[in-house]
Amino acid sequence: MINLIKVLLFATLIIPNLAICEKAQVLVFAAASTKNALDAVIKDYNAHTKTEILPVYGSSATLAKQIEFGAPADIFLSANLPWVDHLIEQDIIQARNTKNILKNKLVLITTDQTIQEIEDLASTDFSKLLQNEKIAMGMVSSVPAGIYSKQALKYLNQWNAISSQVIQADNVRTALQYLLSRNVVFAIVYASDAKLFPELKVIGIFDDFTHDPIVYPASLINIGSEEADLFFKYLVQSETLKVFEEYGFLISAHD
């Protein structure tokens, strides 16, 4: 019922705006971590076409649930394969209309410039590193960045020791804000997020094998929309992906 109410509220806020705009519009649901890069892509696209691309950012989990309950997304850019697989199982997305376009790294960051970089997180005692301080990350049960963070810490046998010091956020950008506002001293986020703020210091990079692959699948949902199809093709082309690369993402080989 709560999810249904959220979808109805979303429709109340968004759909009237769609109706009064003369331009054809495409609604893109996208993982919060893609915001800066995708905003740049959309700005360029909107300037050269008669279509207006409207992004909706949030946790991949939240967006996937909204799509499942009927939110009118034309395209979904997720930071997590399982949530896309879930929508494929629900027959909302077709596998042939999904491409893995981006990858990312998981990093440990801080605002304390006096903390030295850690060459090998596998040999790090996180309890000693954190002491009594808190560490922010996405919600470990649903938010992709949080899921990956817990996986990495469990792989390194550190989760049980510091789980009580974890502050969970509704998406990775919120976790980042906890750090920037000095509510915590540490955070685990994507490398692309850390790159946006010079005042942040990356003190460690988690090896890829400590967690599931961080892959961003882009999915065309509204296959009946020519405008959505055109933007989807633009989004997944190599020149567009270079924009994401400038923002700290890695380009994934297409399936």
Residues 99, 110, single domain; the answer is: no
Provide DSSP, 49-98: SSEEEEEEEE-HHHHHHHHHTT---SEEE-S-HHHHHHHHHTTSS-GGGE
Residues 67, 152, single domain; the answer is: no
Backbone angles phi, psi at 191, to 5 degrees: -60, -35
Q: What is the pTM of this model?
A: 0.86
Residues 112, 202, single domain; the answer is: yes
- CB-based contact 144:32 (threshold 8 Å): no
Strand (E) positions, the chain?
A: 24-31, 51-58, 75-77, 98-103, 106-110, 135-138, 166-169, 186-190, 201-205, 215-220, 250-251
**Which residue in this structure is represented by tokens 């994934």?**
252
pLDDT in tens, 194-207: 999 999 999 999 99
Residues 95, 145, single domain; the answer is: no
Amino acid (one-letter) located at 52: E
The three-state secondary structure class of 220 is strand
pLDDT in tens, 24-46: 899 999 999 999 999 999 999 99
User: Based on the structure, what is the number of domains in the chain?
Assistant: 2
Enclosing domain of residue 166? 106-210
- How far, CA to CA in Å, does 151 sit from each of 12, 208, 210? 38, 11, 7
**Residue 108, beta-bridge partner list:** 188, 204
Residues 93, 12, single domain; the answer is: yes
Rounded Cα gap, residues 11 and 114, in angstroms: 48
The three-state secondary structure class of 169 is strand
Residues 222, 203, single domain; the answer is: no
Whichever domain contains 26, its CATH number is 3.40.190.10
Residues 17, 70, single domain; the answer is: yes
pLDDT at 9: 47
pLDDT in tens, 109-167: 999 999 999 999 999 999 999 999 999 999 999 999 999 999 999 999 999 999 999 99
Residues 24, 94, single domain; the answer is: yes
pLDDT in tens, 46-96: 988 999 999 999 999 999 999 999 999 999 999 999 999 999 999 999 999
Residues 48, 115, single domain; the answer is: no
Residues 198, 131, single domain; the answer is: yes
Residues 26, 77, single domain; the answer is: yes
Residues 50, 62, single domain; the answer is: yes
